[in-house]
Chain A
Amino acid sequence: MPKSIVTHLRDFPDRLPPMLVKELRQGLRAKAFVVVFLVLQGLLGIVLLTAVAAESSSRAGTSVSSIIFFFISLALIIFQPLRGVSALASEMKANTMEIMALTRLSAWRITFGKWSAIVSQSALLVAAIIPYLILRYFLGGMQLFAELLMLLMIFILSATLTAVTVGMSGNRALALRVLFPLALVPLGISAMATVFFEFRGMTFMIEFFSLTSPENREIASVIVFFAVYIGWIALDFGASLIAPISENRATVRRIVGLGLALVVILLLRPLDHEVQLFVSALFLVPLVLVSLAEPINVTAPMLRSFTQRGTPWRLASLFLCPGWAAGALYSLLLVVMFGAAISLKGMAEDEWIDFSIHAYGAIGALIFPAVVLLFFKVANRFASYLIILASSVVLMGFLSLVADMMNKDGLLYFFVWLPPVAWALAEETGDYASIAFLCALLGGFFTLVLLIGAVLATKRLHHSFASPAAES
């Protein structure tokens, strides 16, 4: 017997989370990371050598920055997040998730560990390009602070996108986990090419990240806030998908969401109407989407924890209980809160019209799949919800294209029940007032149907746990 076989297990200290240790051990040996790392190093080396050889050119420095940022963005914003698409699903497929659930690892720690391992590797990639940025400094024309800040922002964006793919990987539907992100890859690459290689694209970015104006600083803060917020929601939702049924994640998420909503509402008060609408939508969309797409997984002790604490908690259960039914009421509460905050400031008639169309287009688009799902029994609610949502957005694009090509804007009127079509219709016809009226009517109808469905589902839930045997 060897002295002790385990003495060489000292590659990671005890204080690191177990999931991070596991994922790093696996991830650093994975071909996907090694290949991206080596290719990035190779490409940047070649680019820098070429630039040094052509040092005479006055634009060499800026061009090298563009190339470095394009490649690191490709690695961080495209490849690294894509590694998250099977993060949780692979564990579920191998039946190892349940074994992990029996340890002290909560669903959140598992999901967070998966995410942090990929993000740590992204950080390694960032660290690996720092020497190239230092060398590029000698080529001249470098805005050190702005470029480092831009690199940081790309890293934050990468971390958020990784959180989204890791969170979505908790769903068993392969199409949802893989096709959705893959469909966005061409869009992402072309956007990056535009930013870094189009005329003034890079200059604009450098100017922005210099943060010389207060406006830019505010925008940068908002971007960071929403990156963290969306990342948190995505990871938390992923955790709720893999959590044992006894682990209630929805209630805490909704309470935190409510608190954040109050903060955002307060911060929005001095801002313009359009900014208010945009930021409100940005805040509401992820929270409402997650609340409406959540299946109802409630246990008797979970329900008891609400009902046995008196009337306030009983009332709170209507909004905070896990599942889409309470999620629908919670979403409506949030919408009412934001709507009230925006309207209390006072709105002109055209602002009301604008508000109605945008609220219907954005929030209606989220309510619509939940209304459709009231009439179908589906095994995978989250996947079905997202498919309906994505289909309605794609259909909106297709319809507006057809209407545009045929020069028949009236065609869109037939499809205005599809909430995103309201945007296209308003754009195409310019008849904002009547479209706003239509939106208010349809939005009210969908909300009413969803409310009725939610109340009935809540009643069914309480009824199913009403028998003493179920409570035992």
Chain B
Amino acid sequence: MSTSAILVHNLYRYFGPLQAVNGVSFEVPHGSVCGFVGANGAGKTTTMRILATLDYPTMGTAEICGINVVNHPAKVRSLIGWMPDHFGNYEHMTVLEYLDFYARALGFTGKERQMRIQEVMEFADLIPLADRFSNKLSKGMTQRLCLGRALLQDPQILIMDEPAAGLDPKARVELKHLIRVLAEEGKTIFISSHILSELGEMCDSLLFINNGRIVHHGDADSLKHGVDADGGFCYDVRILGDPNSLADWIVLQPQVEMLEARKHGARIRIDAQDPDRAAEMLARMIRDGLRVTEFHKEQRNLEDAFIDILGRLEAGGPALPPAMPKAAVATVSQPSIEA
């Protein structure tokens, strides 16, 4: 029995010649929120659909709470709540009737059914909409209804495919709040989105997928604070005097790489994960006569981090630390970089 809420190992999904998912492996621990990031067509939805038992892998294993999604789809379905990226609502059916239908379909009867509907309506703030026709709701209301529907059976794991897509800022904030509350309740949430900054705020870990392969699995903070895929930090350095003197100094330092020359200094990368090493480098700069006025760790936004990772991959470099075996490039089973 797996201790992970979600375990994916060497997952492949081919559609004819198209390799939608190409040897993906990862784990999501119980009670965590994991963001799934990738461009359109990267393989996010396919992976999520396999986890939700809606699609079938060409090869490989996917487990929800230790239960194989292929061999025991019915058991898996009782553990998950699924929010697809797009769905329509029914004509001539009110919000209350919509939830009632799904509650009946999930096997709830009598008082228990009424109680579950009442609870999710309260949670998703659907009570004022109870008698509105479900196909006449705004996108934000529809997403809340969909979330309410997904929560009817009180699932352990929520799989949400682009839940914030097309929402206005207010609806996004509302949805983010609901997801935070669910996370606090201990639910495991596996969520995909294009809006990386929002994912960064609510996710414990981020999983980047590109061309059907996992290219990074780490926490949002480490990405924001400049830790790159090779395990280094990025810094902005400003000095007084000739900036070339900084460039000359960098050439002599094997652990320092100049990323970009700037008017009063440079953007550099220090090849070390230990912050003490950065302090040591700063001390060495000063000791070697550089008049440092600014030295601060770069805070990249997540979009930049993602682009960096993709850029490295396109340049033929590894997206993950070189210490990892080649086969693991597509099969990261643990967050590759610790905060």
Contacts and interface: CB of A to CB of B under 8 A. Distances in A.
Interface of A: 1-2, 4-7, 9, 14, 18-19, 21-22, 25-27, 29-30, 93-96, 98-105, 244-246, 299-301, 467, 469-470, 472
A290 B107 CA distance: 32
A72 to B, nearest CB: 25
B127 interface: yes
Contacts of B234: none
A102 B90 contact: no
A104 B70 contact: no
A25 B97 contact: yes
Given A4-B118, A246-B53, 17 more contacts: A9-B96, A21-B104, A25-B93, A94-B90, A95-B86, A98-B82, A99-B82, A99-B149, A102-B53, A102-B54, A246-B70, A299-B70, A301-B70, A469-B10, A469-B59, A470-B58, A472-B10
Interface in B91-127: 91-93, 96-97, 100-102, 104-107, 109-110, 113-114, 117-118, 121-122, 127
A14 B80 contact: no
Nearest to B60: A472
B235 to A, nearest CB: 45
Nearest to B121: A5
Contacts of B53: 102, 244, 246
B92 to A, nearest CB: 4
B60 A96 contact: no
B105 A96 contact: no
Contact of A245 (B56, B90, B107): B56
Interface of B: 10, 52-56, 58-61, 70-71, 73, 77, 80, 82, 84, 86-93, 96-97, 100-102, 104-107, 109-110, 113-114, 117-118, 121-122, 127, 130, 149
A29 B104 contact: no
B87 A103 contact: no
Contacts, number: 110
Contacts of A4: 114, 118
Contacts of B92: 25-27, 29-30
A26 B90 contact: yes
Contact of B104 (A5, A14, A467): A14
A300 B97 CA distance: 39
Contacts of A26: 90-93
A110 B80 CA distance: 20
A99 B104 contact: no
B84 A6 contact: no
Nearest to B110: A14
Contact of B102 (A7, A103, A245): A103
Given A101-B54, A472-B60, A93 B96 contact: no
> Which of B71, B86, B90 has most A Cβ within 10 Å?
B90
5 tightest Cβ-Cβ pairs between the two chains A and B: A94-B88, A18-B104, A103-B105, A29-B92, A95-B87
Given A6-B100, A472-B59, A102 B80 contact: yes
Nearest to A22: B101
Nearest to B153: A103
Contacts of A7: 114
Given A5-B121, A9-B97, A14-B104, A94 B87 contact: yes
18 contacts: A1-B127, A4-B118, A6-B117, A6-B121, A14-B104, A18-B104, A21-B100, A22-B90, A22-B97, A30-B91, A95-B87, A99-B84, A102-B53, A103-B102, A104-B105, A245-B55, A246-B56, A246-B73
